[in-house]
Structure 1
């Protein structure tokens, strides 16, 4: 069976992804909000991610350059201990959960990733990093659901976890109607492997 041809451009970003059990923990905390605010456009749990650098629409020919640079970035960085905490919103339209833990390491990783992207000759809008996990978006005629859902998450504190991989992700945003979908183009393990304690809790890299 022939594979579909690679599109001439890709909308891509570099990100981290929480492990499944951390996402499941947050999903349980979100159940009351999902029931209370059905008009929100909820992201799929498998698409939850923490963006380090949004690169926008790039020629497909740029991907091999990024693969090499990002593989090196992952190999040279240790895993980070992070967690999901609380909730907030941007402009009453976008609901997010906050990021807790080694924020200094997270900012350092994002800075290195962005510098490596620039070293590949790739231009992008270098916005300040505001670590968060996007959960849902509201409709234009609904200014209250997102702030109210964010307030309901105020007391949420997730368990800590260790990052495993650096992800290069593509999305189909702007490619037709329907919800945004993401797919890993490639992912690379961090240089310090994650160990697990006998009880299953993260024991550190």
Structure 2
């Protein structure tokens, strides 16, 4: 079977991922919203993530240098304790759950990651970090569902967990019709020693 060629560009971001049991906890809290707002474009639970830096469309040749600096970033930070809490929305279009826990260290990690990405000569839109986990997007003719679903999450408080790895993620956004899909390009354990070749305890899908 022929293997399709690697794309010449990748749409990528740097992120953290909640563990499965924390995602399951939030998914149970979302069951009433899944039933009440079926027209929302719900993200797949396996794709839930907390974005630290959105880099946009990059040439695939930029990925090796990102691997090197992100391995170093993960090695220089210890695991964070984070949790999911409440719900909110951006512009009545995007539904999210908020982030609780080591927020000061989360902001410091994001600032370090963004500085290291810029050191590779990669330009990206450096928006202020607003830690959240995206859950769903509304259709243009449905301005009410996202705010209502966010209100239904207001009392949700998830357990804290240890965020063990830093993830470099690729997506298929802008590559034709169909739902958004994400895949790990590589992930690195926090606090892991970086080997002489620049790679630090990577985890591949």
For Structure 1 versus Structure 2, the TM-score category normalised by the shorter chain is over 0.9
Alpha carbons 1:79, 1:192 under 8 Å: kept: no
Q: Cα deviation per residue 1:47-96 (whole Å; 9 max; x = unaligned)?
A: 00000000000000000000000001001100000000000000000000
Alpha carbons 2:74, 2:192 under 8 Å: kept: no
Trace 1:123-202 onto structure 2 (pairs within 5 A). 123-191=123-191
Q: 2-side partners of 1:5 and 1:117: how far apart?
A: 26
Question: What does residue 58 of structure 2 align with?
Answer: 58
Q: 2-side partners of 1:34 and 1:146: how far apart?
A: 11
Q: 1-side partners of 2:27 and 2:163: how far apart?
A: 19
Q: 1-side partners of 2:128 and 2:121: how far apart?
A: 20
Question: What does residue 48 of structure 1 align with?
Answer: 48
SS in 2 for 1:154: coil
Q: 2-side partners of 1:31 and 1:150: how far apart?
A: 13
Alpha carbons 1:10, 1:58 under 8 Å: kept: yes
The structural deviation recorded for 1:2 is 4.1
Question: What does residue 33 of structure 1 align with?
Answer: 33
The structural deviation recorded for 1:12 is 0.2
| Change over 3 Å in CA distance of 1:108–1:185 after alignment to 2 | same
The structural deviation recorded for 1:5 is 1.0
Q: 2-side partners of 1:79 and 1:26: how far apart?
A: 21
Moved over 2 A (4+): none
TM-score, structure 1 length as denominator? 0.93
Q: Cα deviation per residue 1:7-40 (whole Å; 9 max; x = unaligned)?
A: 0100000000000000000000000000000000
